[in-house]
């Protein structure tokens, strides 16, 4: 083909991002930006599916965008934009909503899980349509690949089905997008190896945390319950702090493992070591974040520029859609 493939990645604006976002998504986004055409979407309409309160969406979007930029997302190469500012998302969403049954959406395990986790009694029409809106996000930019974690795969599957339906019904307009899974397993939160790091669980280290905050939080991390005293032998395989060593301190993790097993290394020292490693790993990040934080005008310009470029691409696709549908 010769032309570059397109990647569409997105996140709901939940505010400041944490280490799990860096490891699970952002590092990957940054790595991919040289090889593909990337679009980075702030899913602010999606935020309304679980909470109609829109008062914090703007500040949460900016906080998230600062973290993207600090992580190395290059807005000159890869447009960053809010879904709500490109009206083509709502148009395509409406058209695509005719191409999937309500029963199919009711079976979607990702929405089911969310409804269960958030104790939602009656799911709204819009929430049920979450994956349809996501399909519009992806297909508007003719995304070939969607970098996601396991939990999002059912959504991408629905986007594929909808793309196929559209192409059969009206003519070949859309590629069938594929999930691009990240390989590093989910980062555990500070409260246990089997709990993933997440804002709602309150077990996070934020990318913007200071070295002091990181150390303070790390001290609360749950370790091997059988290692009670400093010299008790521990089991690194059940310890989330060791998992952090494997990820952020790969060259030192063999020594940590040996020290933990023999009992020579205590948890307090082990935690202080990894807190220091993570703090220095995040230090260039904090510097870049501070740079953008002190230049709010620059950040809104970056967003406006990204939105203009995304809009141009979205318009082109919608023109093709209308032509294919004979609704031009």
Can you give the binding site for ligand TRP, defined by CB under 6 A? 8-12, 41, 43, 46, 134, 137-138, 146, 148, 152, 155
The CB-of-131 to ligand TRP minimum distance in angstroms stands at: 8
Q: How far is the CB of 177 from ligand TRP (least distance, A)?
A: 8
Shortest separation between residue 214's beta carbon and ligand TRP, angstroms: 25
If the CB atoms of residues 19 and 146 are measured against ligand TRP, the closer one turns out to be: 146
Question: Measured from the CB of residue 50, what is the shortest distance to ligand TRP in angstroms?
Answer: 10
C-beta separation of 325 from 92 below 8 A: no
Please, what is the minimum distance in Å from the beta carbon of residue 98 to ligand TRP?
A: 20
Which helix (H) or strand (E) is 1 found in, with range?
none
Q: Give the phi and the psi of residue 165 in degrees, each rounded to 5.
A: -55, -50
Q: Are 143 and 9 in contact (CB under 8 A)?
A: no
Residue nearest to ligand TRP (CB): 10
**Owner of token pair 């998992």:** 243
Measured from the CB atom, the residue of 275 and 321 that comes closer to ligand TRP is: 321
Q: Which residue lies nearer to ligand TRP by CB, 12 or 18?
A: 12
Tokens coding 173: 């307009």
Q: State the Cα torsion 160-172-126-156 to the nearest 10°.
A: 20
Among residues 162 and 270, whose Cβ is nearest to ligand TRP? 162
- Shortest spacing between CB 223 and ligand TRP, in angstroms: 30
Cβ distance to ligand TRP smaller for residue 146 or 162: 146
**Residues 314, 89 contacting (CB under 8 angstroms):** yes
CA–CA separation, 6 and 30 (whole Å): 14
Token match 């063999």: residue? 254
**How many residues in total does the chain contain?**
328
Choose between 110 and 218: whose C-beta lies nearer to ligand TRP: 110
Query: What CA–CA distances, in Å, run from 281 to 71, 99, 210, 236, 249?
Result: 11, 46, 12, 22, 10
In whole angstroms, what is the distance from residue 126 CA to residue 128 CA? 5
Q: Which is nearer to ligand TRP, 60 or 273 (CB)?
A: 60
If we measure between CA atoms, which residue out of 132, 130, 138 comes closest to residue 177?
138
In the block, which residue shows the tokens 């959406």?
105
**Between residues 143 and 236, which has the closer beta carbon with respect to ligand TRP?**
143
- Taking the complex as a whole, the smallest distance from the CB of residue 14 to ligand TRP amounts, in Å, to 9
Pairing label, strands 6-11, 178-181: unpaired
Q: How far is the CB of 138 from ligand TRP (least distance, A)?
A: 5
Residue 63 backbone phi and psi in degrees, to 5: -60, -40
């Amino acid at each position: 083909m010769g032309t570059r493939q397109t990647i569409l990645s997105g996140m709901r604006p939940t505010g400041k991002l944490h280490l799990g976002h860096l490891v699970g998504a952002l590092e990957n986004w940054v790595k991919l930006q040289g090889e593909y055409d990337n679009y980075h979407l702030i899913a602010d309409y999606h935020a309304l599916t679980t909470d109609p309160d829109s008062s914090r969406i703007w500040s949460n979007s900016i906080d998230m965008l600062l973290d993207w930029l600090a992580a190395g997302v290059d807005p000159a190469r890869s447009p960053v934009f809010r879904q709500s500012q490109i009206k083509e998302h709502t148009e395509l969403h409406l058209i695509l909503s005719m191409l999937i049954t309500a029963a199919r959406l009711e079976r979607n395990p990702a929405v089911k899980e969310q409804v269960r986790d958030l104790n939602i009694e009656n799911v709204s029409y819009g929430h049920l349509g979450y994956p349809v809106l996501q399909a519009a996000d992806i297909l508007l930019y003719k995304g070939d690949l969607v970098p996601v974690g396991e939990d999002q795969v059912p959504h991408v599957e629905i986007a594929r089905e909808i793309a196929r339906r559209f192409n059969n019904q009206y003519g070949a307009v859309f590629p069938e997008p594929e999930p691009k899974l990240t390989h590093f397993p989910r980062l555990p939160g500070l409260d246990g190896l089997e709990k993933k790091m997440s804002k709602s669980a309150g077990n996070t280290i934020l990318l913007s945390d200071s070295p002091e905050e990181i150390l303070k939080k790390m001290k609360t991390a749950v370790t091997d319950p059988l290692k009670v005293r400093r010299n008790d032998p521990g089991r690194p395989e059940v310890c989330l702090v060791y998992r952090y060593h494997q990820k952020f301190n790969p060259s030192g993790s063999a020594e940590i493992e040996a020290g933990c097993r023999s009992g020579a290394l205590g948890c307090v020292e082990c935690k202080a070591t990894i807190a220091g490693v993570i703090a220095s790993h995040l230090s260039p990040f904090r510097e870049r974040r501070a740079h953008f934080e002190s230049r709010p005008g620059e950040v809104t310009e970056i967003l406006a520029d990204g939105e203009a470029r995304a809009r141009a691409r979205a318009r082109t696709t919608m023109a093709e859609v209308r032509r294919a549908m004979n609704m031009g």
